[in-house]
Amino acid sequence: MRKIDIFNHIFPKPFYDKMMEVAGQHKDIGKRVRNIPVLVDLDERFRVMDEFGDYVQVLSLASPPLEVIAEADRSPELARIANDGMAELCAKHPERFCGFTASLPMNNPDAALSEINRVVKDLGANGVQMFTNVNGKPLDAPEFQPLFDAMAQHDLPTWIHPARGANFADYLTEDRSEYEIWWTFGWPYETSAMMARLVFSGLFDRNP
Amino acid sequence: MRKIDIFNHIFPKPFYDKMMEVAGQHKDIGKRVRNIPVLVDLDERFRVMDEFGDYVQVLSLASPPLEVIAEADRSPELARIANDGMAELCAKHPERFCGFTASLPMNNPDAALSEINRVVKDLGANGVQMFTNVNGKPLDAPEFQPLFDAMAQHDLPTWIHPARGANFADYLTEDRSEYEIWWTFGWPYETSAMMARLVFSGLFDRNP
C-alpha cells in the first residue's frame, strides 16, 4: 500500500541559500530548522524515506513563514524561488515527491494573489500553505479573504501551519512563553483559535 | 451507587450578597454567573439534584476569583465569608453536600496562608480552590509557593479552575479574544499551560 505524506517540509536548495542570505540569524523555529539536515540534504532525505517502503511526499516549506523572514518588498521573490524550487524537485523526483504546496508572501496580499494564480496555472501546485497568524494578524483579516476566494475558485486546498513563537506570552503579566509551552500547547491552541475565527467570520459560508 | 460530584460551584447566600455589594457590575464570567439561579437558590439546586438519584456535591465558589472582585485589603474578608458559608451549608445539609473546597484571597498571599490553616483546622475543608492565573500572574510565582507547601503539609488537594478572560487576545495584533475563544479553547489551553508551569518550575519535586 502506497503511503502519501501530505504535510512534509523541505527547503529547496536555491530557496535555502536565499533564506540564509536574508534571515540566517532567525531565532526560535528559524534556529531549529537550520539544524535539521533532511530539510535541505536530498540524499539524507531519500535514505530516511527508504525506511518506509512505498512512500511519497507532498512537499511544503518549513517554518518560519516568508513574511517573518522578509519584508513585503522581498517576500514575493522568496515565494517565487521557493515555489519554482518545489516544482523542480517534483519534476526531477516524481517517484519521491508526488506534489507540493506553494508558499505565499502573506505580508503582500496582492503579490500573494498573483502567486496563487501562477503556482496553480504554471507550476501545478496541489494547494497553498498559510500560517495560523501573519506577523500576529488573524487569517480572517479582510486583506486575506481574496486569497481564500481564489483557492475556492481553483478548487484547491489550503494547508495551515501553526506559527506562534516564544514571544507570545501565556500570562498577561509576562512577555514571553516559558518551557516550550508556546509550541507544545500553543500550536494546537492557535490552530483551534484560527479555525474558530475562520468559521465564525463566515469564510465557509462565503466559500462553501 | 452514590455519585460524588467533586467540582460543583455555589455562592453561599451571605457571600453572594457581599459579592453583589463589592462587584455587582463585574463583566465576563461575573455577568454570566449572576444569571444562573442554582448558584444561589438552594430549593432550585435540590430540585435539580433530585433528578440524579443518590448524588452529593463537594462545593466550591463559582468564578470570578476573589482577587478579581476585591483588592488585597478586602479579599481576605470575602474569603472568610465564603468559607464560613460553605461550612455552614455542609453542616446544614450533609445529605446534599459532603464537603467543600475553600477559597483563598490570592492577591494577599499572607492572608491566603492563614486562611488555608483556618479552613483546614476550624472548618474541615476538603481542599482549596485556586485559579489558573492570579490577576494575570502564573501560579509558579514565588509568592504562591508557601500556599502549595501548606497544602502538601496538610496532605490535601488543590482544585485549579481556569480563569482566562476575553481580555486575553489570541493574536498579537489584537487586544481581546473573539467568538468566545477565550474560554472554549482558552480555558483548556491555560489549564495545560498552568500545569506545565507547575511541573517544570519544580513544584512536584519540592512537594512530591
Q: Which three cell numbers stand for residue A25?
A: 540569524
Q: What is the mean pLDDT of residues A154-170?
A: 96
| CA nearest to A122, candidates A155, A150, A83, A75 | A83
Q: Is the distance from CB of B132 to CB of B164 less than 8 angstroms?
A: yes
Phi, psi of B89 (to 5 degrees): -60, -40
pLDDT digits (tens, 9 = 90+) for A6-27: 999 999 999 999 988 887 667 6
Each residue's pLDDT tens digit, B174-192 = 999 999 999 999 999 999 9
Which residues from A are below 8 Å from B197, CB to CB?
170, 178-179, 181
Rounded to an integer, the average pLDDT of B133-140 is 97
For residue A29, the model assigns a pLDDT of: 62
Flag whether pLDDT at A161 surpasses 80.
Answer: yes
Q: Which of A168, A171, A174, A176 to mutate to test the interface with B (most CBs of B within 10 A)?
A: A171
- Residue B64, preceding peptide bond in cis (omega within 30° of 0): yes
Q: Residue B199 and residue B137: Cα distance in Å, rounded?
A: 16
CATH of A3-206 among 3.40.50.12160, 3.20.20.140, 3.40.50.720, 3.40.50.1820: 3.20.20.140
* pLDDT, mean of residues B118-128: 98
Residues whose CB is less than 8 angstroms from the CB of residue A58 and which lie 6 or more positions away in sequence, other chains included:
A4, A5, A6, A7, A8, A97, A98, A99, A100, A101, A126
The closest alpha carbon to B136, from B109, B173, B165, belongs to: B165
Considering only CB atoms, which residues of chain A are within 8 Å of chain B?
Answer: 133, 135-138, 167-168, 170-174, 178-179, 181, 184-186, 189-190, 192-193, 196-197, 200
Output DSSP code: residue A144.
Answer: G
**To the nearest whole number, what is the mean pLDDT of chain A?**
94
pLDDT-based confidence at residue B37 (cuts at 50, 70, 90)? confident
Helix, strand, coil: what percent of chain A each, to 5? 50, 15, 35
Please, are residues B158 and B130 in contact by the beta-carbon 8 Å criterion?
yes
Contacting residues of A for B185, CB less than 8 Å apart: 189, 192-193, 196
ipTM score: 0.89
**For chain A, how far is it from start to end, CA to CA, in angstroms?**
33
Q: What is the DSSP letter of A170?
A: S
**Cis ω before A138 (30° cut-off from 0):** no
**pLDDT > 80? residue A33:** no
User: In this complex, do B171 and A200 lie within 8 Å of one another by their Cβ atoms?
Assistant: no
Out of A172, A185, A190, name the one closest to residue B196 (CB): A185
Q: At what angle do helices B109-121 and B75-92 cross, to 10 degrees?
A: 20
How far apart CA B81 and CA B87 sit, in angstroms, is: 10
**Of all residues in chain A, what percent carry a pLDDT higher than 70?**
97
Q: Are strands A158-161 and A127-131 parallel, antiparallel or unpaired?
A: parallel
The residue in chain B having the minimum alpha-carbon distance to the alpha carbon of residue A199 is: B179
- Average confidence (pLDDT) over B160-187: 96
Task: Give the DSSP H/E element, type plus range, for residue A99.
Answer: strand A97-103
Kindly report which listed range (A61-65, B19-23, B28-32, B59-63) carries the lowest average pLDDT score: B28-32
Q: Which residues contact B82 (CB under 8 A, 6 or more apart)?
A: B12, B15, B61, B66, B102, B103
Nearest to A193 among B136, B181, B196 (CB): B181
Q: Which residues of A touch B135 (CB under 8 A)?
A: 173
Q: Which pLDDT belongs to residue B189?
A: 98
Q: Which residue in the set A171, A189, A196 is minimally distant from B136, CB to CB?
A: A171
pTM for the whole structure: 0.90
Type of residue numbered B195: M
Which chain A residue is nearest to residue B171, measuring alpha carbons? A136
Q: Which chain A residues are closer than 8 Å to B173 by Cβ?
A: 135-138
